[in-house]
Structure 1
């Protein structure tokens, strides 16, 4: 029996959770801003994300979780980015390499986290979103454990509690600001 030449790890459905989130931008002003959520219970500043429900698309989960945790309706904001995924219109034998495409609404990043104590794996898919309405300075979310607030890019990068969130936000800012 042959063994794969690739490093692989398998998890059953009891040992993984899939989440989706989106970096929520306010693009309506000259100085663009990004929304962070304040998790009141632990006094942490985070990016909005949450578990995907059974049968729900990753994109729909991201939009649902952002609205639930920030209180803002939003839409996925297309950006120009590189991806290894081919366009649906490309030939089946297109090479497996990163290519840049305009107006993509795909996840721009994924994050894998492991909890050693119970062997749970968490996969988070990250999207870029923009608010559908003029945001207020601070807003309670539908979830009473969170409040949402918009910050300039620099303020948000300083405010986030975790470095992984800073890395996700920095990449999102680069994509939003790229022509």
Structure 2
């Protein structure tokens, strides 16, 4: 039996956790803003994300986690996305290469993180979302362990505790701004 030509890692279901998150934008005014969560116990500024439930789609998990952690209802925001996934209407035999598609509501980034105890990996699928209502319409109090707050892009990038979150936010901003 031949080995794969490709570098491969495989994990059983007990060796990975699948999470989804979304970068939550307020695009309702001239000064566009992004919503971060503050985890007071560790004094960390983060993007909203969390584990996907059994049977739940990644997209639904992202929307649920954002609402649970920020207190805001939101929806996925379509962007022009460079992706290797073909459109549903394309034939199966198109080349496996990145192409740009307008109005895509799929995940735009995947983070793969080693678990703390080296027992596997955490997969985090990232989406872009916008508020269903303007943030000024409702000011949620702390939601569980988190407090949500909106910031201008530059301030949000500086506030985030972890570089990985800054990388996700930078890419999301570029997609929302069409660059």
Name the TM-score class by shorter chain: over 0.9
- The residue number in structure 2 matching 1:18 is 18
- The residue number in structure 1 matching 2:109 is 109
Q: Give the 5 Å matches for 1:78-117.
A: 78-115=78-115, 117=117
The unaligned stretches of length 5 or more in structure 1 are none
> Partners in 2 of 1:56 and 1:141 — Cα distance?
25
Q: TM-score, normalised by structure 1?
A: 0.96
Moved over 6 A (4+): none
Q: Give the 5 Å matches for 1:1-179.
A: 1-115=1-115, 117-136=117-136, 139-143=140-144, 145-178=145-178
Q: TM-score, normalised by structure 2?
A: 0.96
> Partners in 1 of 2:78 and 2:91 — Cα distance?
23
RMSD: 1.3
* CA contact 1:139–1:149 (8 Å) conserved in 2: no
The unaligned stretches of length 5 or more in structure 2 are none
SS at match of 2:82: strand
> Partners in 2 of 1:102 and 1:127 — Cα distance?
15
* CA deviation vs aligned residue, 1:67-106 (integer Å, no higher than 9, x gap): 0000000000000010000001001111100000000000
* CA deviation vs aligned residue, 1:10-37 (integer Å, no higher than 9, x gap): 1111110000000000000001000000
* CA contact 1:68–1:141 (8 Å) conserved in 2: no
